[in-house]
Amino acid sequence: ARAARGQIDEVKAYVKATKGYLPFKGMPFKWSDGTGKDFPRLSVKVRDEIVAFKAGDELKVDESGVVGAGTRLKPEELHELVKKYGDEVVFFDGRNAYEAAVGKFKNAIVPDTRTSKDFIHELESGKYDDIKAKPVVTYCTGGIRCEVLSSLMKNRGFKDVYQMDGGIVKYGEKYKDDGLWEGSLYIFDDRMNMRFSEKSKDIGICAHCGGNTSNYENCAYMPCNNLVLICENCKTDKATCSEECAQHLAVL
């Protein structure tokens, strides 16, 4: 299950039942407050890959996870690594670029990706050859995508690769906004993003006025429908992601 919602007693019962199945006994669960409308229906799908990097033939999995993945780092171990190596440590975002627009680790590399399928091309583009000998920390929302990504990076010559154990969620639970994270966390439900504390700052840039925001909307021109950062002041029923879409919308 990617995510589940419900009353706290119901969710605890679900977790208990899931862990009662031996292969899922050690499955980690991440908790957060929701609205009760985050997941309106159950969806069960069979996929060749849990994350669609289009690298199924390359990846190998055993009972411990992805074979050859990066070294797992707990939040406190990440801080120890940064303390030891300082600015040599490179944070590498394993999410889509639009997710990183509202929150990321400070000074992180954000690859030019719109879907996970774009990562292999990015890694093989030569853009990141200068960091192949540096300690690279991959991270993602919950720790799944960066497990796969760290393996793909090692297979392509990155020498010292780590993965954030439990992802951004576990880091935020530990350090909230008093650590190396900045902004809010993009999530794939009706909430769109979550904040770790009241100190959280908006780092996203409104496409219309250039002000800071974490608010995503879909482009009002339906054939486009792309996500676009639009602040509350600029949000209208006809807010689009570009001038081109605005012109198309005007003639409808």
Domain segments of the chain as ranges: 1-46, 47-194, 216-250
Residue 1 has pLDDT above 60, yes or no: no
> Residue 167: how many CA atoms within 13 Å on its side-chain side?
21
Assess contact for 102 and 204: CB atoms under 8 A. Answer: yes
Element (H, E) at 243: helix 243-250
Torsion angle of alpha carbons 240, 243, 248, 252, nearest 10°? 60
**pLDDT exceeding 70 applies to what percent of the chain?**
92
140 among known catalytic residues: yes
This prediction has a pTM of 0.84
Per-residue pLDDT reduced to its tens digit, 111-165: 999 999 999 999 999 999 999 999 999 999 999 999 999 999 999 999 999 999 9
Strand partners of residue 160 = 135
Residue 107 has pLDDT above 50, yes or no: yes
Positive or negative CA dihedral for 96, 98, 104, 106? positive
Say which CATH architecture domain 47-194 belongs to.
3-Layer(aba) Sandwich (3.40)
Categorize the per-residue pLDDT at 32 as very low, low, confident or very high, splitting at 50, 70 and 90.
low
- Distance from C-alpha of 210 to C-alpha of 133, rounded to nearest angstrom: 37
Greatest mean pLDDT among 4-8, 18-22, 221-225: 221-225
CB atoms within 10 A of CB 193: 18
- Residue in 140, 206, 241, 245 annotated catalytic: 140
Assess contact for 221 and 249: CB atoms under 8 A. Answer: yes
